[in-house]
Structure 1
Amino acid sequence: MLLAIVGVTHPHHLNPDTASYWKNMHVGLLLLFPLLGLDLWWVLQGVRHPLAWAARVLAFVYAGFYGALDVLAGIATGLMVEQATATGQPGLTSVNEWLFDEGNALAVIGVWAFFAACLLVVISVYLHGVRSWRLILGGVLLMAGAWMFLSSHIYFPLGVIAMLLLAGGFSLLVWARGATEHSEVRVRTQRVIPSVHPSTPPQSGGCRHRWPGLRTRTSRCRCRAAPRGPGRQGRTGPRRSEPWRAGWPSSDSASRPAEHGRVGRLGCGPARGSGAGPGRRWRRSGRWPPRR
């Protein structure tokens, strides 16, 4: 956006009237143009694909070669015209043609490196798992702006439009990545299966797995096999209406909290391989068999 604003005031021709502003403007642009390469790195944050690393290298190439355009065709030519006017030596401006040619030749390498980097960025973000309309629209805007940037610099109006397209493309790509990562984190959070902390004391009349603030698939644990207070720890057999209590150890239940295991599809139970409860209980609950 800053480059688009500066591009509105960019002179189309270098003459004694615009020489001072031409030189000072390109001093500022020497700091702003590398930010386009930094935007590419920003979009690729956390992407480890080989194409992403190639895009990062090309963004670095762009920043170096395109900066030569500002130094030679911007600062140097503006300084020559300014000094020629101040000293009354118009012959000094004869070298400007060479400076423009050399600066444009180096800038061609930079803009094509930037174009290739933009293409690799879109492909890398897609391979990273982003699938949304934001990626499609952002990729189109980014590639359109990079294509216009090949020949328009930031001259008004085409150069300004190119900078606006690049800004929109970068914003949509970052938005697409953020939305995708947020949805992935939400899915992983919903699928979390917390373990019982060994230091968690059993709650009287309930299950120790009901931790406040922990987001799971169920709002509360459905474990009915946990000990429900000192009065029930001596029970050795199940009630007729409570077959799920079969096999729960009759003693030392509260002192072995690690046997509670994890919150599973059908509730809580002894940890895998703990040896608590007969194998019949594991087969009935649909979970894995215990280790023998």
Structure 2
Amino acid sequence: MHAKLMIGAISIAMSASLQPAAAAPDWQMVAKTLGKSGTEMPDGVYRVGLPRTDLKVSLDGVAVKPGFALGGWVAFEPMGNKVMVMGDIVLTQDEVNPVMKKLEESGIEITALHNHLLRAEPMTLYMHVLGQGDPVTLAAALHAGLALSKTPMVNATPAATQPQIAFDTAAVEQAIGRKGKANGGIYQFTIARAETITDGGMTVPASMGSAIGINFQPTGGDKAAITGDFVLIDPVLRALRENGIEVTALHSHMLDEQPRLFFMHFWANDDAVKLARGLKAALDKMNLANS
């Protein structure tokens, strides 16, 4: 290479290397603007829980705990000095239209609206949202929409001790073949798919809603109610139904994800280990990441 060209190339490379890296989002300002603080996850996503602790929902005689099937959330994933935000907001029927209108006016895209359960009283609906841009601007838009619902925006004080899980969690884990964790009286499993999920060119990690979620809520003795969200490419409906597990919804959550995914919600209330075996039969038909 000619000496002048070489010097020019080195100069350009040095100049590029000296450019400041994109500043990380100010999560404290995001929390202040949204009106509720969250947690920075190991993958860099800032996730804010929005459980509907104000609602008293029952299904087939089971009082549904907020962490079981009423756990809304929003999550912010850094993309340079901007973010992608996704979320799943739990709403009552009368809240849907005003919240949707305000979010759309504020530049937040509504990507899905659907049920998760059947026969629940009062009925709750689940609104999936998507936005890209300045994190504080997006937080302000979400705050404006959530303000038109009764979603509690106060961080709950963690309980000194976890409520007892009244079924054999070790046997349930053995039946499913995965480790779970207790969370506020619910026993939860989070299982990632093997594929890398993307949306708009951005990776969608498990903390942004791309993982399978399975929740067990004790209902007395060795019984438990189960619900959750299978993330599917190929349907597993037959395996669930053959094991006494009711499929309550099948739908999309996103619009432009690759590979294209569908989300299957389910419900049952029976012996916890029996249900775990049924869930394992369905999981065996899916392409899952190693545990």
Question: TM-score normalised by the shorter chain: which range applies?
Answer: under 0.3
The structure where helix makes up a greater share of residues is 1
Structure with more strand by fraction: 2
Question: TM (normalized to structure 2)?
Answer: 0.21
Q: TM-score, normalised by structure 1?
A: 0.21
Whose radius of gyration is greater, 1 or 2? 1
